[in-house]
Copies of this chain bind each other. A is one copy, B any other.
Amino acid sequence: MGKIARPYAWTVDILRRANLRPTRQRMGLVRLLFENGHRHVSAEELYKEACRNGLDLSLATVYNTLNQFKELGIMREIVTGGECSFFDTNTAPHGHIFYEQSGRVEDISDDMLSVQTLPGFPSHLDISGIEIVIRVRG
């Protein structure tokens, strides 16, 4: 990624819109997360990637930032049942395929799976999220 000499305007925009100060660390993370389409990352992965790209920050800051982004609705968390949690830049409702061996996460697209609530579904429930994970050995 190279040094961030001048902040990328769009990273600042994203952060401003979320009422977060555009610090060097956040701008770097936003750039990694959003510059090339949607991504699934674990905190650890993102931290290492940031370091590799010359961004100087701590793992705790990565956790804090990902959790802030989650709370602000910019990202969402993916529950895999693996060792660590993942975060997804795509906040639209969709399921995931979790590859147990590699620990990788992929989206389930609309033409793969159909999920519908039926009349028997309790209508009073205040749903905060629907997790669909297909675990595969491959």
Question: Chain A interface (Cβ within 8 Å of chain B)?
Answer: 77, 79-81, 85, 97, 100, 109-122, 124-138
Contacts and interface: CB of A to CB of B under 8 A. Distances in A.
14 contacts: A77-B81, A79-B133, A97-B125, A100-B128, A110-B120, A112-B121, A113-B121, A114-B115, A114-B116, A114-B118, A126-B136, A128-B137, A130-B134, A130-B135
A138 B123 CA distance: 12
Number of copies of this protein chain within its complex: 2
A132 B131 contact: yes
A59 to B, nearest CB: 20
Contacts of A81: 77, 79, 85, 129, 131
A34 B97 CA distance: 32
A119 B112 CA distance: 6
Contacts of A117: 112-114
B128 A131 contact: no
A130 B131 CA distance: 10
A48 B129 CA distance: 30
Contact of A113 (B112, B116, B136): B116
List of 3 A-B pairs having minimum Cβ-Cβ separation, nearest first: A111-B120, A79-B81, A112-B121
